[in-house]
Chains A and B, each alone.
Chain A
Amino acid sequence: MTPFAALFAAIDATTSTTAKVEAMRAYLASAPAADAAWAIYFLTGRRLTRLLSARAIGDWVSDATGVPGWLMQECYAVVGDGAEMAALVLDQMPVAPDAPLGLAAWLETRIQPLRGQPPERQRDAVLAWLRQLPRWERFTLLKLLTGELRVGVSQTLVVRAVAARAGLPVTTIAGRLAGAWTPTAAWFDALIGAEASADDLSRPYQFALASPLEPGRDTLEALQESLGSPSEWQVEWKWDGIRAQIVRRADTVALWSRGDEVLTDRFPEIRDAARTLPPGTVLDGEILAWHDDAPLPFAALQQRIARQQQIARVAKSVPVAFVAYDLLEQEGVDLRDRPLADRRQRLESLLRDVAAHPMAPAPVPDGRLPFDPPESGPVTQVLRASAQVAAGADTWETAAAARTQARRYGVEGLMLKRLASPYVGGRRRGDWWKWKIEPFTIDAVLIYAQPGSGKRASLLTDYTFGLWDGDELVPVAKAYSGLTNDEIAEMDRWIRRHTVERFGPVRHVEPVHVMELGFEAIARSTRHRSGVAVRFPRILRLRPDKRAADADTVATLRAMIRDQRAPAG
């Protein structure tokens, strides 16, 4: 219990994510496997069902310390947390240390057997334990008993710490931590074990990324000159959703975001549809909120992203589809070196086959019921091949014309992919281009925040955004509006916890959040470090699906100046 409580205290005592990760790594390196397993259980936000109410514990503490009920209530009004208040009041009770007991033993031999015991026995046991423990351990125990233990770390940080402890890639650990598991010593050993486990089967490929087609390079002549004939290109809509891979191998299915996040259980309809794919299949595509035959705005999808509980209910109001762009693996064979034209053909025939003869869904390993089929619709509603735009045209005019319609279809623009190209992870210029509707949008990283004025003076609402210049983020724009009140409040909390440095009211935050900014015009500027000034920047939306490293560069922004007068579309 003591090392875990010390870890909890260490995480609580810093706002630095590096320090938090290091504290977790050090704990995981020294804790026995069974304790480490339980620690991860709590660090990843899992909780015990409430064993005891804070009220009952308060009554016992009142009896044991002689602090009357009314005075306990006065204390509660100041502390605002029953477990902490009880631990503080208990401080007057001297500690009679007992032999140390590990976290797992505490949970398995003491805390959990308490469930269902008569209240007097629960009281006697809890008070006896509390007498043995110092202050912070008392607090930790009370939080465990009331099912309220919350440690201030994100899943991403836990994954980083476990990966550092295990010396394994972050994706491996993220994959192994996804889904349901029981905290046991064997589970922890498997989690950090080097041998390929069944879970590693769910690893995705590195995503291939497109480069923006800069303004000035997107006139019909320039396209013809730099890209050649459109017949050598696959032209698709650039969907505005979450880029993801479906990994279907052996009897597993996993849905991965580009941020190495496992989304499998967030989108049960995609998970279940993917089970009908033959094993050894990996699809690259986009998760979209989808109704009837059209995508819903990204904001709709955000409701699904935000929701971790009651997924089935939100899924009814916001159905989703997976629009497949590419087939990366078929029958267990890596297809990435083959030309896109070949992969595309295979993708289309695969999806046709599945629609015609869907495989029986594979058995669900953890005994969950498959997602309710009437709401999810047939497989073909959920798994789709991305539509081709202007296929077979021999001038870029058709594509350019389609692009002007992009807004109407709720898409961001066009994707141009060379039909002869292999699938190459990362951003490699030349074969994949994104041709957005609005030339003046960038994905920028939040780097500074400060309080707003007027009604919002208590919230950090004024953001400064940066773009990459080499490996440095250079400030390029300040923006105040564009987020919902809920998003602002959420960001405010996040910023306060992730401030790296403060200069007066200005907080330098960890470069984590990517937001899409839109603006009306750009000009050269000697007053700005980036050399560029943007006019009327505004936040178009959060991009939780993007990592800071995926944000745009200053060079992209500078290139936009060159042809401001080019028609936007």
Chain B
Amino acid sequence: MLTETPIGLYCAAGDFHIDPWGAAPRALITHAHGDHARAGSQAYLCADACLPLLRQRFGADVPVQGQPYGEPLTLGGVRVSFHPAGHILGSAQIRIEGDDGVWVLSGDYKRAADPTCAPFEPVRCDTFITESTFGLPIYRWDPAADVVADIVAWWHANRAQGLASLLFCYTIGKAQRLLAELAAITDDRVLVHGMVQPMTEVYRAAGVRMLPTETLVERPRGTSMAGELVLAPPSARGTPWMRRLGALSDGLTSGLMRVRGVRRQRSYDRGFVLSDHADWPALIDTVRETGATRVLTTHGHAEPLARHLADLGLDTGVLRTAWDDERGADDRE
């Protein structure tokens, strides 16, 4: 049903690519993260809820079409539908039904609740292509509410010491999830890096309730940032932008922060383990719930997960090329 090509996974029966990293005539997109949705294809198809995010990323001129979750569409010889993946707003699993049975490609997903997007729905299938970013038993997430409570405690402790709290997070999804989770605890305004604001507005327009935000640029020159919580992308670390914040404590929200050595090596003051990917038990449970007899793994720790699933009696394989990009397994979104 799906084959690996130099620009990504290709479905010959339906004549489309999924999350291609090269120019494709027709691209089906699981979600708006940069390692999945790349510019350059001629036409894009995604879940309805993903549409405004892709428009924001690609501009209004690029032909992007939306499809409601769960409603099938016939493309050539296959029926295609999008199903919520619970990863970020508009993220989808792609179900393809054809002569080779039912295939589901998970895209990135998580099973934990997220106030910014529709929850993951298990979809029965014969072949399941699952992400495996955190495919090792060391990865297991605490409830998001606990992590957010830790973040608030850190923010308030910093405030008491006159420090700004600079929290690094991905600009699409993680930042908005934080702003939405924080809204359950506080009403305070949060400062954001200029790269965080546009997507946050897209989320707001989509009806996601979040804390009010303001960019640093909007603050009058010379105002102290002491006590503020500031969200910024990891790429802003070490840039002159940080100068405006004065004395600060910094932290990163990522599943990678589960490992102490990784946090120390990157010398963040704090690491908050909050991920939009499935943890180890969620990966295993999800594979079981799909009822798939054949499972292909991709992203991150694909090989250990495949080997473990093979030990459980499944037919398994590793998709090496899908979503591989130059940044390496560590920094995928």
Using A92-B137, A503-B242 as known contacts, list a sample of 20 further A-B pairs with CB atoms less than 8 Å apart, ordered by residue number in A: A12-B260, A13-B269, A14-B249, A16-B249, A16-B269, A67-B137, A70-B307, A71-B136, A71-B304, A71-B308, A74-B304, A75-B137, A79-B138, A84-B260, A85-B138, A88-B137, A88-B138, A501-B247, A503-B243, A504-B243
Q: Is B55 at the interface (CB under 8 A from chain A)?
A: no
Residues in chain A near residue B261, CB distance under 8 A: 79-81, 84
Beta-carbon contacts under 8 Å, A64-104 to B: 65, 67-68, 70-71, 74-75, 78-81, 84-85, 88-89, 91-92
Q: Is B207 at the interface (CB under 8 A from chain A)?
A: no
Using CB atoms and an 8 Å cutoff, list the residues of chain B in contact with chain A: 136-138, 140, 238-240, 242-243, 246-249, 258-261, 267, 269-270, 281, 301, 304, 307-308, 311
Residues in chain A near residue B269, CB distance under 8 A: 13-16
Residues in chain A near residue B242, CB distance under 8 A: 502-504
The docked-state distance in angstroms from the alpha carbon of A65 to that of B281 is 13
A74 with B301: in contact, given A13-B269, A88-B258, A89-B137 (CB under 8 Å)? yes
Residues in chain B near residue A79, CB distance under 8 A: 138, 259, 261
B240–A15 CB distance below 8 A: no
The docked-state distance in angstroms from the alpha carbon of A13 to that of B263 is 10
Who on chain B is nearest to A12 by CB?
A: B260
The docked-state distance in angstroms from the alpha carbon of A84 to that of B304 is 19
Q: Is A549 at the interface (CB under 8 A from chain B)?
A: no
Using CB atoms and an 8 Å cutoff, list the residues of chain A in contact with chain B: 12-16, 65, 67-68, 70-71, 74-75, 78-81, 84-85, 88-89, 91-92, 496-497, 499-505
- What would 26 A/B residue contacts be, using CB atoms closer than 8 Å? A12-B260, A13-B269, A14-B249, A65-B137, A68-B311, A70-B307, A74-B136, A74-B301, A74-B304, A78-B138, A78-B301, A79-B259, A79-B261, A84-B259, A85-B138, A88-B258, A92-B137, A92-B281, A497-B267, A500-B247, A501-B246, A502-B238, A503-B243, A504-B238, A504-B239, A504-B240
Q: For the complex formed, measure the closest distance between the CB of A265 and the CB atoms of chain B, giving whole angstroms.
A: 30
Residues in chain B near residue A14, CB distance under 8 A: 249, 269
Q: Closest 3 A-B residue pairs measured CB to CB? A: A88-B138, A74-B304, A504-B240
The docked-state distance in angstroms from the alpha carbon of A140 to that of B115 is 35
Who on chain A is nearest to B243 by CB?
A: A503
Residues in chain A near residue B238, CB distance under 8 A: 502, 504-505
Residues in chain B near residue A68, CB distance under 8 A: 311
A89–B260 CB distance below 8 A: no
A75–B140 CB distance below 8 A: no
Residues in chain B near residue A91, CB distance under 8 A: 138, 140
Residues in chain A near residue B311, CB distance under 8 A: 68
The docked-state distance in angstroms from the alpha carbon of A14 to that of B154 is 11
The docked-state distance in angstroms from the alpha carbon of A76 to that of B240 is 37
The docked-state distance in angstroms from the alpha carbon of A375 to that of B249 is 51
Who on chain A is nearest to B163 by CB?
A: A16
The docked-state distance in angstroms from the alpha carbon of A97 to that of B281 is 23
Who on chain A is nearest to B239 by CB?
A: A504
The docked-state distance in angstroms from the alpha carbon of A92 to that of B249 is 31
